[in-house]
Amino acid sequence: MKHLTIACAVLACACADAAAPAIEKRIDALLARMTLEEKVGQLVQIGSGDFASGDVEKGPLDSHVVNAVVRGEAGLLISCCGIKKYNQLQKMAVEESRLGIPIMLGHDVIHGCRTVAPIPLGLSCAWDEDLWRGLAETFAVEARTRGIDWTFAPMLDVSRDARWGRIAECAGQDPFLASRYAASMVRGFQGDNPADGRHVAACLKHYVAYGACEGGRDYNTVELSDDTLRNVYLPPFEAGVRAGALTVMPAFHVMNGLPCSANPYLLRTTLRGRFGFEGMTVSDWGSVGELVPPRHGMYANLADAAAGAINAGMDVDMMSNAYRRHLVERVKAGVVKANVLDEAVRHVLRVKFALGLFEHPYADEKLLEKLDLKKHAEQMRVAAQRSVVLLKNEKRTLPLKRGTRVVLMGELGDNPSEMLGTWQTWDVPGENAALLAGLRADGVDVVYAPCYTMTGAVDVVAVTAAATNADLVVATFGELCGWAAAMNGENTSRADIGLPGEQDKVVEALRATGRPFVAVLFNGRPLAIPELADACDALVEAWNPGSSGGWGVADVMTGLAEPTGRLTVDFPHKTGECPLYYNRLETGRPWVDGDRWTTRYVDAPSPGRSLFSFGFGLSYTTFAYANEKAAVDGDKVVFTADVTNLGGRTGEEVVQVYVRDVVACVSRPRRELKGWQRVKLVGGETKSVRIEVPVSRLGFWHAGTRVAGEGEFNAWIAPDSDRGRLLTFNLGGAR
């Protein structure tokens, strides 16, 4: 019996304090007993099954994996192998390996597992921290039912470029909103006690600025000033670390010449030194192996890459076998110091202790029976409702009126699996996923006439005939997201972000019929759709809304739920405007309509005007803002406004606070989000909204130092990033 003999008295640490003294002692004791090979084994992550043979959940245990676990050669596994196999492998690790150190199984549980929420970009449009946290709790407990104890989420890459397919996985373009999202998701995934068997370790990825890739092309090079890195791309990671995230995944790309996978400035100076991160870093899939020619070419061979990565601060090698093959020898040769190795092993063991794996190594095979998946489906329905952004609604086309004969069109109108979004590799019951089912459940008189696919030829005659037979057309548009033909998600960059295939022909055909039509978009990125936006009567941005998506989207379309989502990304008119973001610098010649010498495109209306801007979203009622004020009060600025619901329906407004530092030592963005508050108002009601912003939030990074906000500021308490009455306040100081 080779059970670990360390006393079990110590409770797993609270996640915010991964390095609790009692646990450190237990790690010291373990390190003292570990061989060099066993130490390296803790830094190796291999697949939990044979990928070549297909589904790793099915079939017998893979002997290669079994041997690695029993010999202590792989302390970490990736890809779900199912709960039973997980427990079998865990038993081998605990009972048959020399020191009985438990394994940990990571998998990408990004926005659901047994039930599925909208894609993260959609969720971000809910601007709702409680919703985010609650969802992550559900993702975590569902992951646990599959024996997964570590997820590779939340993805925190700020992205300003809609060409990049992975924008679907992130919380949009704003560092402040993404920071709030980061903290909520970490708290949800890990809970107050990640060791309670219902939570998982979170992983902040992809560290960092992966979304700033040149040309929006995935895996591509990033060139970025240190100021922009600190002001825009790092804040969500810092927020995630401060919320107690147990793991961080450096990104694939090269930044300013140095791959993130072997970048001591990012991994040591910033992550550990400045943010105080105490958990473990894990490479992205095979990225240590990508450090060699003909790829990044930073190291001549895999052995040097292994040494370079761990010396730079990469604790775990996911799937490149560089550590497994070469680290023992590199340590013996003195290229990697013993203390560097020990430090990395300590980080891994800390996470295993924090997850309670030493005390409770086995996953609860009865957990699934204890869950109420119907409740989860309801939660996903609410998430879908709240992620919808209503972008246009002429002549009160929506909500749908009772008795209207609706024809629903397009292959995405009744396609449950295409509603699930990126990273959905499981078979998730989809009875509530499709819009057709959702509309029917909500009592809409609807006929389904698919008429066209997302990529195929469009039968204009069929579209016209179907439209003519109905009072109202609901036409679905967008992108495919299923693994095989995905148009968003990993490595799905698009050089043209208009509607794929011949969907534009549908727009023209519908316009020609003169029938009122509602366009529903199912997509994972902002699309350049000026013609569609112009032609339709109502435009519903539904994203990939998840396993209850059809329900949730139909609820908003029928008015059972109010549209309360607001964009977290700008929509361009044309692809060539990317990257496009509201918090840009003004330039020396801010755009003025009609002025020949102000910054512009000759063939697009931007950069002064996005097709739809950050923060924008309509309700079924309208809101008015009055008495907006910004007042400095000690170490905070207090923003107040009276918001009135001008209509008859109850609605919910997302009141947003933006500022601009008017004069600073460097040019500052034209507007930056600094706070928001949701306010629910019945028809005719007025409420006073108060948003406090700490003065410290108004500073910025320049040349490696934090510059305090001083002097005059402009401010807007507004419904989106373009509107609002101009206010000023003054923080005093030297400027």
Name the catalytic one among 62, 284, 317, 442.
284
Report DSSP letters for 479-496, one per residue.
Answer: ---SGGG-SSSTT---S-
* Percent helix, percent strand, percent coil in the chain, to nearest 5: 35, 20, 45
Nearer to ligand BGC, 127 or 150 (CB): 150
Least separation in angstroms between CB 16 and ligand BGC:
23
Q: Compute the distance between CA of residue 181 and CA of residue 131 in angstroms, rounded to an integer.
A: 10
Least separation in angstroms between CB 106 and ligand BGC:
8
Using rule CB under 6 A, residue 285 touches ligand BGC: yes
Q: Compute the distance between CA of residue 234 and CA of residue 266 in angstroms, rounded to an integer.
A: 10
On the CB side of 172, CA atoms within 13 Å amount to 31
Nearer to ligand BGC, 187 or 205 (CB): 205
Nearer to ligand BGC, 107 or 133 (CB): 107
Rounded to the nearest 5°, which phi and psi values hold at 602?
-80, -15
Using CB under 6 A as the binding rule, the residues of this chain from 67 to 96 that contact ligand BGC are none
Q: Compute the distance between CA of residue 146 and CA of residue 57 in angstroms, rounded to an integer.
A: 10
CB 261 within 8 A of CB 291: yes
Query: What number of chain residues touch ligand BGC (CB under 6 A)?
Result: 6
Q: Compute the distance between CA of residue 136 and CA of residue 190 in angstroms, rounded to an integer.
A: 8
Using CB under 6 A as the binding rule, the residues of this chain from 471 to 530 that contact ligand BGC are 490
Least separation in angstroms between CB 542 and ligand BGC:
24
Q: Compute the distance between CA of residue 425 and CA of residue 111 in angstroms, rounded to an integer.
A: 11
Residue 284 falls in the annotated catalytic set: yes
Least separation in angstroms between CB 287 and ligand BGC:
8
Nearer to ligand BGC, 152 or 551 (CB): 152
Least separation in angstroms between CB 330 and ligand BGC:
25
Residue recorded with tokens 């008859």: 648
CB 531 within 8 A of CB 539: no
Pick the closest to residue 487 from 218, 92, 205, 139 (CA basis): 218
Using rule CB under 6 A, residue 668 touches ligand BGC: no
If one counts every other C-beta atom within 10 angstroms of the C-beta of residue 31, the result is 17
CB 194 within 8 A of CB 356: yes
Least separation in angstroms between CB 161 and ligand BGC:
17
Using rule CB under 6 A, residue 205 touches ligand BGC: yes
Structure tokens at 359: 């005390």
Nearer to ligand BGC, 205 or 515 (CB): 205
Least separation in angstroms between CB 152 and ligand BGC:
3
Using CB under 6 A as the binding rule, the residues of this chain from 106 to 135 that contact ligand BGC are 108
Least separation in angstroms between CB 284 and ligand BGC:
5
* Strand, coil or helix: 676: strand
Nearer to ligand BGC, 284 or 442 (CB): 284
Using rule CB under 6 A, residue 591 touches ligand BGC: no
Angle 383-389-393 from CA coordinates, rounded to 5°: 135
Structure tokens at 5: 């003999």
Find the distance separating the first CA and the last CA of the chain, reported in whole Å. Answer: 71
Using rule CB under 6 A, residue 152 touches ligand BGC: yes
Nearer to ligand BGC, 51 or 601 (CB): 51
Angle 244-245-246 from CA coordinates, rounded to 5°: 110
> What Rg value do the Cα atoms of the chain yield, rounded?
26
CB 732 within 8 A of CB 696: no
Least separation in angstroms between CB 210 and ligand BGC:
8
Least separation in angstroms between CB 155 and ligand BGC:
7
Q: How far is CA 108 from the centre of its chain?
A: 12
Which residue has the CB atom at the shortest distance from ligand BGC? 152
Nearer to ligand BGC, 205 or 386 (CB): 205
Nearer to ligand BGC, 284 or 672 (CB): 284
What sign results for the dihedral spanned by CA atoms 128, 129, 130, 132? positive
CB 105 within 8 A of CB 156: no
Nearer to ligand BGC, 152 or 676 (CB): 152
Report DSSP letters for 544-606, one per residue.
Answer: S--TTHHHHHHHHHHTSS------SSPBPSSGGG-S--TT----SS---TT-TTSS--SSSST
CB 565 within 8 A of CB 389: yes
Q: Compute the distance between CA of residue 140 and CA of residue 339 in angstroms, rounded to an integer.
A: 34
Using rule CB under 6 A, residue 317 touches ligand BGC: no
Using rule CB under 6 A, residue 218 touches ligand BGC: no
Using rule CB under 6 A, residue 284 touches ligand BGC: yes
Rounded to the nearest 5°, which phi and psi values hold at 652?
-130, 125
Catalytic residues, by residue number, are: 284
Q: Which residues sit at the interface with ligand BGC, rule CB under 6 A? A: 108, 152, 205, 284-285, 490
